[in-house]
Amino acid sequence: MLNLQIVSDGSSFVIIPGATLDNTNGTMYKIYVGASSGSLYVVHTAVAIKLGSGGFRVASTGQNASSGSNYGTITVTHSASTTANGIEWTNNLGSVASVYATVQRIIESSDYP
């Protein structure tokens, strides 16, 4: 699923709501975000994995920007509420951005032997 959203500076874009996340240990997601604002562009990719009671851990796998080192922030938080948290990208680019984002669940707990 590809999402497009106009996101103000300092605001977050919920790519996948928390209630739809697989919250079992070992589940991994790959997150892809592209954002643009005028001549500024940002590409940010990350992997998130659910590890024990500590929740999801996120590691950036790639970051590229037309200038500076502002890539936005990717967070993953599970919640039983359909309106809370989830996989989010927060715009900290300093201006309104057009954001394209998608997520792949690449491994779920039942994939492990």
Q: Tell me the pLDDT band of 18, cut-offs 50, 70 and 90.
A: confident
> Rounded mean pLDDT of the chain?
86
Domains in the chain, number: 1
Q: Of 3-17, 22-36, 48-62, 80-94, which gets the smallest average pLDDT?
A: 80-94
**Tell me, what's the pLDDT at 83?**
58
Residue 80 in this model has a pLDDT that exceeds 70 = no
- Alpha-carbon distance of 113 to 44, in angstroms, equals 31
Question: Is residue 113 included in any domain, yes or no?
Answer: no
Residue 66 in this model has a pLDDT that exceeds 90 = no
Question: Is residue 26 included in any domain, yes or no?
Answer: yes
Question: Is residue 48 included in any domain, yes or no?
Answer: yes
- Alpha-carbon distance of 102 to 8, in angstroms, equals 19
- Of residues 109 and 28, more confidently modeled: 28
**C-alpha distances in Å from residue 13, one per residue of 16, 26, 27, 55:** 9, 25, 22, 20
Domain housing 9: 2-108
